[in-house]
Structure 1
Amino acid sequence: MHTTPAPFPRIALVTGASGGIGRAVALRLAADGLAVAVHYAGNRAAAESTVADITAAGGRALAVGGDVADDAAMAAVFDTVEQEVGGLDVVVHTAGVMVLGPLADYPLDDFDRIVRTNLRGTFVVTQQAARRVRPGGAIVTFSTTVTRTAFPSYGPYVATKAAVEGMTMILARELRGRDITVNAVAPGPTTTPLFLEGKDEATLRGLAQAAPLERLGRPEDIAETVAFLAGPGRWVNGQTLFANGGLA
């Protein structure tokens, strides 16, 4: 006889969860007892691997795919999560791209790509989240510590993330009365493939020494911050939390 699985008490959607920070967030939220929708853009196999790790540990997860900047695709993702798991309480938008280069030589095609994924993608995902997250829920977007450190070659990337911060702060105020928190997390240098690409050992050593804790961040460090915002951090709202080991 077919039986419908009992609904989980809380349900999360994590975009960009096939690897890096997104995967760490998905695993951390699952460890806290949330059912997790593991979103991927192109790497379904990696997302399914994350799902397998969660289910092997006794959790519940499903993989959902789609372009974060495509409103129809993401509406379908949100529909799938609601239909398959029963609702949405937490949306964590980690998906993004980073293309570095000096402004004077930066290709417009790269600029358009980074704006589409990082800014439009955040808009599309948070718009759906604002419509669907249940009372008591949380929306978490992603910025970067480079909005403060202003490293050369990060101009277009930082421009998209500064815009994300502004949009996040305003959404927190627009959701007044809904009992939904909206915050941004701004990681410092973190050992993900996206961050490590193109950096030599000397550069990585220098970045590790820049923070008072004298190491690079780990995806699990960032996941802890997200778990706080998604769970007990109910009095933190409309903020950007810098998770960077003290990097000024």
Structure 2
Amino acid sequence: MGAVYKVYSKDLNSHLNEAKKTIDPNFSFKRVPLHLGDKSVFADDHFIITYIEPFERNAAARGLDLGSESNRRNAAERAIISGNATLTDRIRLIQDKNQRFGFLVYLPVYKSNLPITTTNERIKAFSHWIYAPFVTELFLDSIFSKFKNDQVSFKLYDKAEPSEENLVYSFHANNKNMSGLQTLNAIILGDKVFYAEWSQTSKYMASNNFLSTWIGLIGTVIVLIVVLL
């Protein structure tokens, strides 16, 4: 989790010098690599990850301009306008060495002495973002790792169309023995809708995992919802 600041080009050197003095002498400005994003954006304002913890683990992300890539920028701008938590579409995180799919959550922070009732007021009062990166595999593996290969198949998409381009997470998705109950559910988190495709077999229904796993899944979703509030 960290803090992201909007810095205009005219103030960029000053921001970087201050960060080198107070945060990390190796603090440096960098753009989102092309292979980790959608479209490059060249703008006069930069959305710079300035503070981030854990400190050592996230060294690669420190100084990253999230506004230099369209997906990350769009979600950040939606947060300012709406006043609510927003999520990116699926991305590959720069600080994840395995570059697995995940997403970013942005929460806007406003100056306390200014009104934020209207869109224009929120834009004028904006201070910075609190943001959190999530690697979907790490987030959901704790639930699905208890299953045996012949019990369940689960896929999570970040768009309504169930395609590889929209796939965020899968567990035993290629298992050909799935013949039991199949469901497709929409899950709303922040300003984004995810689609969960769930296939179960009779072996799963008969196992002791049925109730405990649903409790675990619901608990995980609740935790994320609390983060987004």
Normalised by the shorter chain, which TM-score bucket?
A: under 0.3
Q: TM-score, normalised by structure 1?
A: 0.26
Instruction: Give the structure, 1 or 2, with the largest relative contact order (CA under 8 Å, sep 6 or more).
Output: 1
Higher helix fraction (1 or 2): 1
Q: TM-score, normalised by structure 2?
A: 0.28
Higher strand fraction (1 or 2): 2
